[in-house]
């Protein structure tokens, strides 16, 4: 090689696990910064951007950070000074690295919003010699507001590169048998741990506005497919699908999780388990919205027993699933 030629590293494969994101702390300013990035994404909020930016900056970012900070403080991991989502996503990457990482395969993780950013991690992988990159968005059920916006950010990052790597994206895995089996294992494990028999299991997914579904987003169908496949293999307890985390005045996918939790005791459902199959890691939506707010609502409405089945997080079934999903691309 010509001595004047710049050093070029190549010949490696990078695997990047990407989750939604997290604020850097529970401070008002860090929460506001995170919410601004998240709620400025036009995949997430499909409203006229000029009108939306006025609403966002004048109203939402003035009042919502305090409420969101209060929720995060309830579930924040104080010893690590980080959110559960960051903790588990890092562990997922570390454990996958121990299984399949080597001198030719680099495993890392990034967040769509907040840190570590997708752009910084893609640049790092490229600088380390990765000319093939595999992207695994940690959203089992594809939606434009989740998987597609990850892809958008990946593409924007590659636009800045002179020598782009080859790119492979795993868009969804809602019906992967290993994923379904992992969810069923988590249900059975929880049932063995509790001292009461559940009358019902709620399968709660993050919602999206109904208008997104009407425009052709497949997310609704993927959620129903996952739940149907669980029900086909697990028949001990009835399972009902709901959608959580709605935001704003417009109609979202129904039935709503919060309204369902309020109504179940009056229908004779007093003992309830809830699972959130669409979340790869426990986070504010599962630990605070469901296991604190949801539990309180259910018990106040007359329920007797309530328990949350943990997300798959960094358990072996989940890491084995990731290994299968990415191995065909490395």
262 pLDDT higher than 90: yes
pLDDT at 5: 74
Question: What's the CA gap between 3 and 224, in Å, rounded?
Answer: 59
Q: What is the pLDDT of residues 280-296, one digit of tens each?
A: 999 999 999 999 999 99
DSSP helix, strand, coil percent of the chain (3-state; round to 5)? 50, 20, 35
Question: What's the CA gap between 261 and 73, in Å, rounded?
Answer: 24
- Hey, what domains does the chain have and what are their CATH numbers? 12-173+318-327 (3.40.50.1400), 177-308 (3.40.50.1400)
pLDDT at 76: 98
Nearest 5°: the CA angle 138, 316, 147 is 5
Q: What is the dihedral of CA 190, 195, 201, 202, to 10 degrees?
A: -80
pLDDT at 8: 80
pLDDT at 248: 87
2 pLDDT higher than 70: no
DSSP line for 110-163: EEEEESSBHHHHHHHHHHTTEEEEEEEES-SS--IIIIIHHHHHHHHHHTT-SS
Mean pLDDT of 299-314: 98
Cα(first)–Cα(last) distance of the chain, in Å? 28
Q: What is the pLDDT of residues 189-225, one digit of tens each?
A: 999 999 999 999 999 999 999 999 999 999 999 999 9
Question: What's the CA gap between 136 and 17, in Å, rounded?
Answer: 5
Question: What's the CA gap between 60 and 64, in Å, rounded?
Answer: 5
pLDDT at 98: 98
Q: What is the pLDDT of residues 22-79, one digit of tens each?
A: 999 999 999 999 999 999 999 999 999 999 999 999 999 999 999 999 999 999 999 9
Task: Give 188's contacts (C-beta < 8 A, 6+ positions apart).
Answer: 234
171 pLDDT higher than 80: yes
1 pLDDT higher than 60: no
What's the whole-model pTM score? Answer: 0.96
Closest CA to 21 of 36, 34, 40: 34
Residue pair 272/200 in contact (Cβ under 8 Å)? The answer is yes
Mean pLDDT of 299-307: 98
88 pLDDT higher than 70: yes
Looking at the chain, which runs of residues are DSSP E strands?
A: 12-22, 105-114, 130-137, 166-169, 200-206, 239-244, 271-275, 305-308
pLDDT at 7: 80
Q: What is the pLDDT of residues 104-125, one digit of tens each?
A: 999 999 999 999 999 999 999 9
Give whole-number Cα distances, 13 to 9, 121, 130, 237, 259, in Å: 12, 13, 5, 43, 46
Report the mean per-residue pLDDT for the chain.
97
pLDDT band at 130 (very low <50, low <70, confident <90, very high): very high
């Amino acid at each position: 090689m010509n001595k004047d030629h710049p050093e070029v590293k190549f010949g490696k494969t990078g695997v990047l696990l990407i989750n939604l994101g997290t604020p850097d702390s529970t401070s008002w300013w860090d929460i506001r910064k995170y919410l601004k990035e998240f709620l400025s994404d036009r995949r997430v909020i499909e409203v006229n951007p000029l009108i939306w930016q006025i609403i966002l900056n004048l109203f939402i970012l003035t009042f919502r950070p305090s409420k969101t900070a209060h929720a995060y403080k309830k579930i924040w991991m104080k010893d690590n000074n980080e959110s559960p989502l960051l903790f588990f996503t890092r562990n997922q990457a570390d454990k996958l690295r121990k299984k399949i990482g080597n001198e030719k395969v680099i495993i890392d993780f990034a967040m769509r919003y907040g840190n570590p950013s997708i752009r910084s991690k893609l640049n790092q992988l490229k600088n380390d010699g990765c000319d093939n990159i595999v992207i695994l968005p940690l959203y089992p059920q594809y939606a434009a507001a989740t998987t597609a916006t990850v892809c958008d950010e990946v593409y924007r990052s590659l636009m800045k590169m002179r020598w782009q790597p080859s790119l492979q994206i795993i868009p969804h895995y809602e019906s992967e048998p290993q994923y379904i089996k992992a969810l069923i294992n988590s249900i059975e494990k929880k049932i063995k741990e509790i001292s009461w028999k559940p009358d019902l299991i709620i399968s709660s997914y993050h919602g999206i506005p109904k208008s997104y579904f009407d425009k052709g987003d497949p997310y609704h169908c993927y959620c129903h497919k996952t739940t149907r496949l669980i029900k086909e293999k697990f028949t001990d307890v009835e399972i009902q699908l709901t959608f959580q985390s709605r935001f704003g005045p417009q109609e979202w996918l129904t039935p709503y999780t919060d309204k369902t939790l309020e109504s179940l005791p009056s229908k004779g459902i007093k003992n309830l388990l809830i699972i959130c199959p669409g979340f790869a890691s426990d986070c504010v939506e599962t630990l605070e919205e469901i296991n604190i707010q949801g539990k309180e609502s259910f018990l106040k409405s007359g329920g007797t027993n309530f328990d949350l089945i943990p997300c798959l997080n960094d358990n072996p079934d989940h890491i084995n699933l990731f290994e299968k999903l990415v191995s065909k691309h490395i």
